[in-house]
Amino acid sequence: DAGITQSPRYKITETGRQVTLMCHQTWSHSYMFWYRQDLGHGLRLIYYSAAADITDKGEVPDGYVVSRSKTENFPLTLESATRSQTSVYFCASSESGGTNEKLFFGSGTQLSVL
């Protein structure tokens, strides 16, 4: 049972480069989410998706792009990376959009923008 997997685990890139973080889940969950985690902040929602081809902005979407052509994949792209995007990124999924639905997280991608 692979669950939810993220790749790469670690990534170093340079300012201005495009980088894509991958997220794959094997549960066929409808909802998928991207969060970033920074010191001094709680987890902050970047984008989420309710189903294939349905995405919406979260709290901090600027500088990020997402797509969801298949239910199981939800990649996050930084079109032109900036130092402020250095962070740990977590992908998560839930079976539906119900208010009491449990959220399952991946192990994270640690991104450093130099």
Partner 1 sequence: KNQVEQSPQSLIILEGKNCTLQCNYTVSPFSNLRWYKQDTGRGPVSLTIMTFSENTKSNGRYTATLDADTKQSSLHITASQLSDSASYICVVSPVYYGNNRLAFGKGNQVVVIP
| Binding footprint of partner 1 on the chain (CB under 8 A) | 31, 33, 40-45, 48, 56, 58, 90, 92, 94, 97-108
Residue whose token pair is 């130092």: 83
CA-based max dimension of the chain: 40
Least distance to partner 1 from the beta carbon of 60, Å? 12
Cα 76 to Cα 4, 36, 98, 99: the distances in Å are: 15, 11, 24, 24
Least distance to partner 1 from the beta carbon of 95, Å? 10
3 or 16, CB closer to partner 1?
A: 3
10 or 62, CB closer to partner 1?
A: 10
Least distance to partner 1 from the beta carbon of 39, Å? 9
12 or 18, CB closer to partner 1?
A: 12
